[in-house]
């Protein structure tokens, strides 16, 4: 696909985003005035060398960290001005996260791991919660593994559980930090196929950071970041 193709309306907009970290006496500039628009329905990869600012960018959009300056609008709302509680609510209601290390709870089974983020959303009834969890697990092809714990699953299956957990909240945006980094090429390809299918069928917007050439070749758009700056 054309890397400049716009899939839908702009619903995440970054302007002049700056983030610095202090390491001892040294100040590290992670983001240096980033401007970026994400369009609804995109399947986008952020690429760049280690330390280029990829993860920092995802953390800003996901309300995990705060910029030193600049603007982040999510569906028209300026999130840099929100309280911590409001940001937590936004994360829970609108954003799903997929991590390269899966971040599953070892003592919980598949069903319980997927359900976990929904437990803090008190607007969802137990019946609806159960239905969402079952639907998300079915979407990733693991309905027969609902009672298995993570140590009873392969790496590819664990990442499928992480995807189901991200989708169970019906997010508008899924942020994925190196989602295929810990998988072999076969499982990596299967996970990419799955996420593409969910992007198309569920209309969820995906934003990745990645070094995976197979994933880069399948996305609808590539954003290249170098030394904290978006390169066109």
Angle between helices 155-168 and 185-202 (to 10 degrees): 20
Of 12-21, 35-44, 133-142, 179-188, the poorest mean pLDDT is in: 179-188
Look at residue 123 and tell me whether its pLDDT is greater than 60: yes
Considering the chain, what percentage of its residues have pLDDT values greater than 90? 72
Cα–Cα distance for residue pair 144/121, rounded to 1 Å: 26
| Domain segments of the chain as ranges | 41-66+83-231
Of 1-5, 64-68, 135-139, 217-221, the poorest mean pLDDT is in: 1-5
Sort residue 170 into left (φ over 0), alpha (ψ -120 to 50) or beta.
Answer: left
Angle at 58 between CA 108 and CA 135, to 5 degrees: 40
Look at residue 5 and tell me whether its pLDDT is greater than 70: no
Question: Would you say domain 41-66+83-231 falls under CATH 3.40.50.1980?
Answer: no
Of 24-28, 115-119, 129-133, 147-151, the poorest mean pLDDT is in: 24-28
pLDDT tens, position by position, 201-211 = 988 999 999 98
pLDDT bin (cut points 50, 70, 90) of residue 232 is: low
Please write down the HEC assignment for all residues of 179-196: CCCCCCHHHHHHHHHHHH
Look at residue 1 and tell me whether its pLDDT is greater than 60: no
């Amino acid at each position: 696909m054309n890397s400049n193709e716009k899939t839908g309306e702009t619903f995440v907009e970054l302007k002049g985003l700056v983030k610095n970290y202090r390491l001892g006496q040294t100040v590290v500039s992670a983001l240096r005035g980033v401007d970026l628009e994400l369009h609804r329905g995109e399947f986008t990869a952020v690429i760049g060398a280690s330390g280029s600012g990829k993860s920092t960018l995802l953390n800003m959009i996901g309300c995990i960290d705060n910029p030193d300056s600049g603007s982040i609008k999510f569906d028209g709302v300026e999130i840099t001005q929100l309280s911590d509680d409001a940001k937590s609510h936004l994360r829970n209601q609108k954003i799903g996260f997929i991590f390269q290390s899966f971040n599953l709870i070892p003592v919980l089974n598949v069903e319980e791991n997927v359900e976990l983020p929904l437990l803090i959303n008190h607007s969802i009834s137990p019946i609806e919660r159960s239905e969402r969890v079952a639907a998300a697990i079915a979407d990733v092809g693991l309905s027969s593994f609902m009672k298995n714990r993570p140590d009873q699953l392969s790496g590819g299956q664990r990442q499928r559980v992480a995807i189901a957990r991200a989708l169970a909240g019906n997010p508008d945006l899924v942020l994925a930090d190196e989602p295929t980094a810990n998988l072999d090429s076969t499982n990596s390809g299967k996970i990419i196929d799955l996420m593409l299918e969910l992007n198309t069928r569920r209309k969820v917007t995906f934003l990745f950071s990645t070094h995976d050439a197979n994933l880069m070749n399948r996305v609808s758009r590539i954003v290249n970041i170098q030394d904290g700056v978006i390169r066109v």
